[in-house]
Amino acid sequence: MLRLENIRAGYGKKEVLHGVSFAVPKAKICAVLGPNGAGKSTLLKVIAGMIRPVEGKIYFEGEDMTDLPVHERVRKGIGYFMQGGQVFPSLSVLENLEIGANGLPPQEKRKAIEEVMELFPALQGLAKKRAGLLSGGQRQQLALGMILVKRPKLLLLDEPSAGLSPNLVKEIMQKIQIINQTFNITIVLVEQNIKNALDIANKVLILTNGQLQVEYEESQKLIELG
C-alpha cells in the first residue's frame, strides 16, 4: 500500500529524517513510535505531501507520488489527521462533516455522514451544535469523521489521543481498530502512548533522531522483548 525509500526531509536547511525506508501492508495498522523530536510528525507530513523530501521516493499503491501535491494525494485516497484535530469551530457538526464530504454525490454524501454518526455515537444529536462548543473528545471524533467521510484508503493519524482522558484514549483506540477492520483502511499511527499503540498495531516502527532503529511486523514481539 505504502512504501518509502531512503527519505531525507526536514525544514529549510535542518534535516530531520535521515534516509528512512519502510513499507506498510494493505489494511494493516502501522504504529510509529519514538521520543519527542524523533521525526514522527515530520514523517507523516512527508507522506501527506506537506513536506517535500530532498531525497528518496514515496510509492502509494505502486505509484510514485513523491512529487504529487497534497490535494492530489487526498484525491488518491490519503487522509491526514493532524495533532489536536482540525475542525471549523464556528460551523455546526453537520456542516463540518458536509465540508469533509465535499465532492461526493449527494446520496453517497448522506450515506457517508450516516456511517460516521453510527461510528461515533457521541456526535449523534449534536448535528446542529457548533463545533467550537464540543468537548475535547467530541471534537477529536468530529475531526476524524471529517476525514472518514471521504473513505480514504490510507489514514495518517498524528497522536489522536493527545489531550484526552484515559477513558477517551481507550475509546479512540478502539475506534481506530474498528475503522481498520470494518473499512479495510490502512493506518499509519503516530502515538506517544506506547502500550495503547502496541495493543492495536500489526507493524511497529521506532524512530530515533530521524532514523529507523527498530522494525517489527507484529507488535507482540516488541511486548515480549520488554
Alpha-carbon gap, residue 9 to 13, rounded angstroms: 9
Cell of 137: 473528545
pLDDT tens, 16-68? 999 999 999 999 999 999 998 899 999 999 999 999 999 999 999 999 999 99
* Residue-wise DSSP of 107-157: HHHHHHHHHHHHH-GGGTT-TTSBGGGS-HHHHHHHHHHHHHTT--SEEEE
Q: Are strands 2-11 and 55-60 parallel, antiparallel or unpaired?
A: antiparallel
Confidence at residue 226, expressed as pLDDT on a 0 to 100 scale: 47
pLDDT at residue 218, rounded to an integer: 65
Instruction: List, for the chain, all residue ranges whose pLDDT scores fall below the cut of 70.
Output: 218-226
Q: Give residue 61's region: left, alpha or beta (phi > 0; psi -120 to 50).
A: left
Q: b/e per residue, 188-210, with b = 16+ CB within 10 A?
A: bbbbebbebbbebbbbbbbbeeb
- Which residues touch 61 (CB under 8 Å, ≥6 apart)? 1, 76, 153
pLDDT at 214: 79
Cβ contacts of 111 within 8 Å, gap of 6 or more: none
User: What residues have CB less than 8 Å from 154, skipping those under 6 apart?
Assistant: 1, 2, 24, 47, 60, 77, 78, 79, 185, 186, 187, 188
At residue 180, the 3 state secondary structure works out as helix
